[in-house]
Amino acid sequence: MGWAIEIQVRAERRAGELLAQMPKHAGELRRGTQKGPREKTSTLAALGISKNESSTWQKLAKIPEPEFEKRLAVARPCSP
């Protein structure tokens, strides 16, 4: 695995951690069904993230840190 790919995987894992902490978007509610001010939550589309990316990144984030590092080490090319 090249260094650029490793950096990308680490960034995607971090994005998954952040996505998992975000409040879930409730979707559009019918008119008159909600009282009070509407809470502002970003949608994946508004963030420029597909549902597939969100799912993949959150799965990466769920891998325990030691296991994640072990997998990266195995995929890392050996230095000559």
30 located within any domain: no
18 located within any domain: no
How much is the pLDDT for 42? 79
How much is the pLDDT for 16? 96
16 and 57 in contact (C-beta within 8 Å)?
yes
What is the DSSP-derived secondary structure letter of residue 39?
P
29 located within any domain: no
79 located within any domain: yes
What is the count of structural domains for the chain? 1
Structural domain for 8, as ranges: 1-13+45-80
How much is the pLDDT for 29? 56
How much is the pLDDT for 37? 56
34 located within any domain: no
- Residue 21 in tokens: 């902490």
32 located within any domain: no
**C-alpha dist (Å) from residue 80 to 38, 58, 69, 75, 77:** 58, 34, 21, 15, 9
- Residue 15 in tokens: 């994005």
71 located within any domain: yes
21 located within any domain: no
Q: Which of the residues in the chain have pLDDT under 50?
A: 80
